[in-house]
Amino acid sequence: MQRMEELLAQIKAVDLSNGAQEPEEEVKDGETVVGIMPDDLKKFFVVRGKLIDEMNLKCEEVSRRLTEIFAELMPNLSEIIGTSTSELLEQLDPEDLFFLQLHELDLMWMDIVNRLFWYAVKETFPQTAITYDNIAIRKGWQIVTCESKQESEFISDKIAERLAEIFAVLLN
C-alpha cells in the first residue's frame, strides 16, 4: 500500500507549469488524434516517465551486479547455461539474493504502474478501450491511436529488451 500512496503523492506534486515534461514527438502519418490529456493524466505520465528512467538505471546496476556475482560464483560464465534458476539462487549469499528479490519487486511495480497508466488513458478516452490499435502520447499531450506497436509507449518492451541484454551478458 505504501508504494500506491507514494505514487499518488508524486502525481499530485507534479508541476506542469514549465511544460518541459511534455512529449516532443509530433503526430505521425497513420496516427489518429483521439483527444488531449487532462492534467491528472499529464502528471501521471510525468511520474511514470521518471519511474522508467529510474528503472533503466536500476537495470544497469543489476546487470553489473549480476555479472560480478556470477563471475565470482563461476569463473566460466558459460557454466550458467543449463543451470536452473533455483540452483543459481541457492548459490547466492543472502544480501545478493535480497538485492535480486527487491529488483524483481521493482519490475513488478513498474509493470503495475504502466498498466494503471494505460488503463487511466483508456478510461479517460473510452473509444480506445476496445481497439486493435495501440495508443501513444504526442506533442501537445495528444492521445493518438496508431497502427504499429513500435509506435506506442510500452514499458514492457523496454523491460524485456533490458532483461535480454542482462542475460546476454551473463551467458557470454
pLDDT in tens, 14-64: 998 887 788 999 999 888 999 999 999 999 999 999 999 999 898 888 888
pLDDT band, residue 151 (cuts 50/70/90): very low
Q: What's the pTM value of the predicted model, to 2 decimals?
A: 0.73
Q: Looking at the domain assignment, is residue 68 inside a domain?
A: yes
- Whether residue 21 is contained in a domain is answered as no
Q: Is residue 138 part of a domain?
A: no
Residue 13 within any structural domain of the chain: no
Nearest-angstrom CA–CA distance, 90 and 98: 12
Measured in whole angstroms, the distance separating CA 136 from the mean position of its chain's CA atoms is 15
Backbone angles phi, psi at 60, to 5 degrees: -65, -45
Residue with grid cell 543449463, as numbered in its chain: 82
Cβ atoms < 10 Å from Cβ of 102: 12
pLDDT by residue (tens digit) across 68-120?
877 776 665 556 666 677 777 777 778 888 888 888 888 899 999 999 999 99
Q: Given this model, what pLDDT does residue 21 score?
A: 83
- Look at the chain and report how many structural domains it folds into: 1
- Burial (CB count within 10 angstroms: exposed 0-12, middle 13-18, buried 19+), residue 129: exposed
Please spell the DSSP secondary structure of 74-118, one letter per residue: -SSGGGGTT--HHHHHHTS-HHHHHHHHHHHHHHHHHHHHHHHHH
Residue bearing the bigger pLDDT, 82 or 5 = 5
Instruction: With respect to residue 161, please indicate whether it lies within any of the assigned structural domains.
Output: yes
The answer to whether residue 4 is domain-embedded is no
Question: According to the model, what pLDDT value does residue 90 have?
Answer: 75
Least confident of 99-103, 135-139, 150-154: 150-154
What is the DSSP-derived secondary structure letter of residue 135? E
- Helical pair 39-73 and 94-124, crossing angle rounded to 10 deg: 160
- Whether 72 maps to a domain, the answer reads yes
User: In the chain, how long is the greatest CA-to-CA distance?
Assistant: 55
The upper half-sphere exposure of residue 62, i.e. CA atoms within 13 Å in the direction of its Cβ, equals: 24
* Residue 46, domain extent: 39-125+154-171
pLDDT at 155 over 70: no
> What pLDDT is recorded for position 72?
73
152: confidence class by pLDDT, cuts 50, 70, 90: very low
- In DSSP notation, 13-49 reads H---TT-TTS--PPP-TT-EEEEE--HHHHHHHHHHH
In this prediction, residue 46 carries a pLDDT of 94
Tell me, yes or no, whether 57 lies in a domain.
yes
